[in-house]
């Protein structure tokens, strides 16, 4: 067999045998000359490796080390050969070393972290990776030592940062919970305390018109009607804001929801508006099931269908088409109308809260409806959008995960 064809184990065997002879005979200066070409190649790689490498027997006696290990521990070659591997372990972790050595003998390989000790007594954390292989019927150990001081420092910094972050998150969570409680209290107050005087204003203004209309001139009746209208509008706005606030705070857990069922509920809620405007609603059934929240989807579709009925030219009967399409693991529901349409530059803006493109005189509303649509879809993990051209109607769409995804 040629030297170049020798295996790593064979070369290492010869190297170990030669090292033992050299140590026994004191012939260290002849080591390199007595290596064959292949042995020299291996030995050169062994000495120039980036990792600190050692070779020992199972008793812990060092057979050979490379230059990197000498530099790591601060020994010269003549000194290291009289040192046992156990002597390089921090005294506090001798039991860990013995346990690792037992595992190595049993399993043939092991990786462990341990505190090692330099010649000057300084300790450092290291990762040791070792494995055994037979030489002349005996097992020897080859291992690498890596100084992991920087990694340990980084881990400690990360641990401190994580602890700080956890404390910060806990503090923010407490603050958020307190803010939510305050918001819930405020919402309750708005819902009851603020709406009560509004209803009183509307009631008294309406009574004034009913009981004293003949005593009021045209201007007086106009003022009273304005009070009723403003109170009604304010009450609707408060309800919309409360609905938006609840969507922002509530925890939604998506379930399989039937769009047919949701749409049926919405059509029932808006039945009076549909009849009043003589709206034509066409639904392309069957509609699929999606992953969402039933009540939130009712809010979303109610706002979309209400807008489709409302935003048409005066004297024009609303025409609405509702359909769905499956896109991979998504379902997109379309609400298409033949209304006044929306300029492209406003397609994103209309989903902002209080965003209105039309005057109250022509198309009454609060500017909260489409914000509820967007917020509701976000809370369910979906999205909403619109395709529209002025004078050619609007095609609003909502997209959610299909059932089972």
d(CA 334, CA 233): 29
Topology alike, domains 3-148 and 253-405: no
b/e string for 223-254 if b means 16 or more Cβ within 10 A?
ebeebbeebbebbebbebbbbbbbbeeeeeeb
Instruction: Please give the structure tokens belonging to residue 157.
Output: 């910094």
b/e string for 369-405 if b means 16 or more Cβ within 10 A?
bbbbbbbbbebbebebebebeeeebbbbbbbbbbbee
Look up residue 285 and give its DSSP letter.
S
Q: Report residue 200's pLDDT band, with 50, 70 and 90 as the boundaries.
A: confident
Nearest to 106 by CA among 58, 73, 175: 58
List Cα–Cα distances, 372 to 157, 233, 296, 375, in angstroms.
44, 17, 9, 5
Percentage of the chain exceeding pLDDT 70: 82
Q: What is the CATH number of domain 149-249?
A: 1.10.287
Asked whether 88 and 59 are in contact (CB, 8 A), the reply is no
Phi-psi region of 145 (alpha: psi -120 to 50; beta: other; left: phi over 0): beta
d(CA 73, CA 81): 13
d(CA 140, CA 360): 90
Percentage of the chain exceeding pLDDT 90: 33
The domain locations on the chain are 3-148, 149-249, 253-405
pLDDT per position as a tens digit, 274-315: 998 899 999 998 899 999 988 889 889 988 998 899 888 888
pLDDT of 224 above 60: yes
Which class is 253-405 in CATH?
alpha beta
pLDDT per position as a tens digit, 313-367: 888 899 999 999 988 899 999 999 988 888 888 888 888 876 666 655 556 666 7
Contacts of 184 (CB under 8 A, 6+ apart): 249
The arithmetic mean of pLDDT across residues 232-261, rounded, is 78
pLDDT per position as a tens digit, 66-101: 999 999 999 998 898 888 888 999 999 999 999 998
Domain 3-148 has CATH 3.30.450.20: yes
Asked whether 15 and 64 are in contact (CB, 8 A), the reply is yes
d(CA 150, CA 155): 9
Q: Report residue 47's pLDDT band, with 50, 70 and 90 as the boundaries.
A: confident
pLDDT of 116 above 50: yes
Look at residue 237 in the predicted model and tell me its pLDDT: 75
d(CA 266, CA 354): 23
């Amino acid at each position: 067999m040629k030297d170049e064809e020798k295996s790593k184990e064979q070369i290492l065997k010869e190297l170990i045998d030669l090292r033992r002879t050299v140590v026994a005979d004191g012939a260290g200066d002849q080591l390199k000359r007595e290596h064959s070409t292949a042995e020299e190649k291996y030995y050169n790689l062994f000495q120039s490796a980036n990792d600190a490498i050692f070779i020992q027997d199972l008793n812990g006696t060092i057979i050979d080390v490379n230059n990197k290990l000498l530099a790591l521990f601060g020994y010269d070659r003549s000194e290291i050969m009289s040192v046992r591997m156990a002597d390089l372990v921090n005294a506090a972790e001798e039991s860990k070393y013995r346990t690792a050595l037992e595992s190595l003998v049993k399993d043939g390989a092991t990786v462990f972290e341990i505190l090692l000790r330099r010649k000057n007594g300084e300790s450092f954390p290291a990762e040791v990776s070792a494995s055994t292989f037979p030489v002349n019927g005996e097992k020897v150990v080859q291992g690498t030592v890596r100084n992991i001081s920087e990694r340990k420092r980084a881990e400690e910094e990360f641990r401190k940062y994580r602890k700080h972050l956890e404390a910060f998150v806990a503090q923010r969570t407490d603050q958020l919970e307190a803010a939510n409680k305050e918001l819930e209290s405020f919402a309750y107050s708005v819902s009851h305390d603020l709406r009560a005087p509004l209803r009183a204003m509307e009631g008294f203004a309406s009574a004034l018109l009913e009981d004293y209309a003949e005593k009021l001139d045209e201007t007086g009746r106009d003022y009273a009607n304005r009070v009723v209208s403003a109170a009604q509008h304010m009450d609707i706005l408060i309800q919309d804001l409360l609905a938006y606030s609840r969507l922002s705070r509530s925890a939604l857990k998506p379930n399989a929801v039937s769009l047919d069922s949701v749409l049926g509920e919405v059509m029932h809620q808006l039945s009076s508006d549909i009849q009043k405007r003589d709206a034509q609603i066409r639904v392309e059934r069957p509609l699929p099931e999606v992953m969402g929240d039933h009540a939130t989807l009712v809010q979303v579709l109610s706002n979309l269908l209400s807008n489709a009925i409302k935003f048409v030219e005066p004297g024009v009967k609303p025409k609405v088409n509702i359909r769905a399409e499956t896109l991979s693991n998504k379902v997109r529901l379309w609400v298409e109308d033949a209304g006044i349409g929306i300029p492209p530059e406003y397609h994103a803006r209309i989903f902002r809260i209080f965003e209105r493109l039309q005057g109250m005189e022509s198309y009454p509303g609060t500017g909260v409806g489409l914000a509820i649509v967007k917020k509701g879809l976000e809370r369910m993990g979906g999205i909403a959008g619109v395709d529209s051209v002025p004078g050619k109607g609007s095609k609003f769409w909502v997209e959610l995960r299909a059932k089972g995804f």
